[in-house]
C-alpha cells in the first residue's frame, strides 16, 4: 500500500549552476574553452604519434589510448553541461541519465587503468630492459589496452545497474551538473539503499586504491633501480646531486635499451709514431 502512493520518477532536473545565474555566462565560457582545448590537445598528441613511425612504441600506444579515454570522458559530461548553462530547461530523461553515468564511469576508470598500465610499462623498461620486447610485445600491449577498456566498462556497468535498479520517488531535482551516484542516492527510496551505497563505494574505492598502489609500486621499483646505477664520477656519494643525474640516466636508459656496438681501436704499426 505504501508503494502505491509513491510516484515513480521518469526524468530528473539537473540543478547544476542554476543557483548562480549571474555567473552562468562566465561558467559557460570557462567550460567551453576547456571543452575545445582538451580534445584538441589530445587529438594533436594522437596525430603526432600516428604520423611519426619512430613513435610507434608501446609507451606511445598507451598514451594514445589515454588521450582517447580523456576525449570520450569530456564528451560524456561537458556538452550536456554547456547546454544546461544556456538553457532554462534542465530536465534529463531517466535513460539519458543512466547513459551519462555509465559512460562517465567507464571512461574515468579506463583512464585510471591505462595509467596503471603505463606505470607497468616504465617498470619493465627500466628494471627488465632485456625482457622488454618479450613482455611488452605488440600483442601483449594490445591485450593490456583491451583489458583496461573492458575493466572500465565492467565497473561502469556494475555501478549504473546498481544505482538504477532503485526506485526514485518524490523530488526529482539533482543538485549536481551531472548524473552522479551520491545525489541520485538521495532521491532513491527503499530499504536497501545504505547496503547498495556501501557496495558501490567499495567497488570504486577498491579499484582506485589498487591502481594507485600498483602505480606507486612500479615507480618505487624504478627509483630503486635508478639509484643502483653506478656512477663513474662518484656522484652517488653526493646525495645532493645523485637524484637528478641518476634520474636522467634512467630516463635515457628508458628511451633506448639496445646496447651499443663495441668500439674497435686500431693499433698503429710499429715505427710510424716515431720519426
DSSP string, 185-200: HHHEESSSHHHHHHHH
- Residue 31's pLDDT is what? 85
The Cα 77–Cα 253 span in angstroms is: 40
Residues 6 or more apart whose Cβ sits within 8 Å of residue 130: 257
- Residue 231's pLDDT is what? 59
Asked if pLDDT for residue 221 goes beyond 80, the answer is yes
The total number of structural domains in the chain stands at 1
The Cα 139–Cα 152 span in angstroms is: 20
Residue 52 counted as domain residue: yes
| pTM (2 d.p.) | 0.77
Indicate the SS3 state at residue 8.
strand
Residue 79 burial (CB count, 10 A): 12
- pLDDT, one tens digit per residue, over 91-124 is 888 888 899 999 999 999 999 999 999 999 999 9
- Residue 168's pLDDT is what? 82
Q: What is the mean pLDDT of residues 256-262?
A: 43
Residue 267 counted as domain residue: no
- pLDDT, one tens digit per residue, over 167-209 is 887 778 888 888 888 888 888 887 788 888 899 999 999 999 9
- Residue 158's pLDDT is what? 94
Quick one: 86 exposed, middle or buried, by C-beta within 10 A (0-12, 13-18, 19+)?
A: exposed
- pLDDT, one tens digit per residue, over 2-13 is 444 445 677 888
Q: Which residue has the cell 630516463?
A: 251
**What count of Cα atoms within 13 Å lies in the side-chain half-sphere of residue 214?**
17
**pLDDT category, 232, cuts 50, 70, 90?**
very low
Indicate the SS3 state at residue 34.
helix
Residue 251 counted as domain residue: no
Residue 116 counted as domain residue: yes
Higher pLDDT, 240 or 54: 54
| CATH number of the domain within which 137 lies | 1.20.1070.10
> Residue 55 belongs to what domain range?
7-207
Higher pLDDT, 22 or 3: 22
- pLDDT, one tens digit per residue, over 233-254 is 444 444 443 344 444 444 444 4
Residue 216 counted as domain residue: no
Residue 75 counted as domain residue: yes
Q: Which three cell numbers stand for residue 76?
A: 560524456
The Cα 224–Cα 54 span in angstroms is: 29
- Residue 272's pLDDT is what? 46
Amino acid at each position: 500500500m505504501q508503494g502505491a502512493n509513491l510516484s515513480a520518477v521518469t526524468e530528473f532536473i539537473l540543478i547544476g549552476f542554476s543557483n548562480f545565474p549571474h555567473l552562468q555566462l562566465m561558467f559557460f565560457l570557462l567550460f567551453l574553452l576547456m571543452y575545445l582545448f582538451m580534445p584538441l590537445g589530445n587529438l594533436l598528441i594522437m596525430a603526432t604519434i600516428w604520423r611519426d613511425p619512430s613513435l610507434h612504441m608501446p609507451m606511445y600506444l598507451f598514451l594514445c589510448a589515454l588521450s582517447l579515454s580523456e576525449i570520450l570522458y569530456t564528451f560524456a559530461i561537458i556538452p550536456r553541461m554547456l547546454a544546461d548553462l544556456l538553457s532554462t530547461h534542465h530536465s534529463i530523461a531517466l535513460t539519458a541519465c543512466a547513459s551519462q553515468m555509465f559512460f562517465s564511469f567507464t571512461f574515468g576508470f579506463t583512464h585510471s587503468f591505462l595509467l596503471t598500465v603505463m606505470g607497468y610499462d616504465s617498470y619493465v623498461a627500466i628494471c627488465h630492459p632485456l625482457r622488454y620486447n618479450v613482455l611488452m610485445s605488440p600483442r601483449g600491449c594490445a591485450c593490456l589496452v583491451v583489458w583496461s577498456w573492458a575493466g572500465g566498462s565492467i565497473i561502469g556497468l556494475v555501478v549504473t545497474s546498481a544505482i538504477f535498479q532503485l526506485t526514485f520517488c518524490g523530488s526529482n531535482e539533482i543538485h549536481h551538473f551531472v548524473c552522479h551516484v551520491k545525489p541520485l542516492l538521495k532521491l532513491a527510496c527503499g530499504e536497501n539503499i545504505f547496503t547498495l551505497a556501501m557496495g558501490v563505494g567499495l567497488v570504486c574505492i577498491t579499484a582506485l586504491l589498487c591502481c594507485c598502489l600498483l602505480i606507486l609500486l612500479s615507480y618505487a621499483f624504478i627509483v630503486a633501480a635508478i639509484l643502483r646505477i653506478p656512477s663513474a664520477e662518484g656522484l652517488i656519494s653526493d646525495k645532493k646531486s645523485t637524484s637528478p643525474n641518476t634520474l636522467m640516466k634512467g630516463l635515457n636508459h628508458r628511451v633506448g635499451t639496445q646496447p651499443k656496438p663495441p668500439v674497435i681501436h686500431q693499433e698503429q704499426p710499429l715505427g710510424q709514431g716515431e720519426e
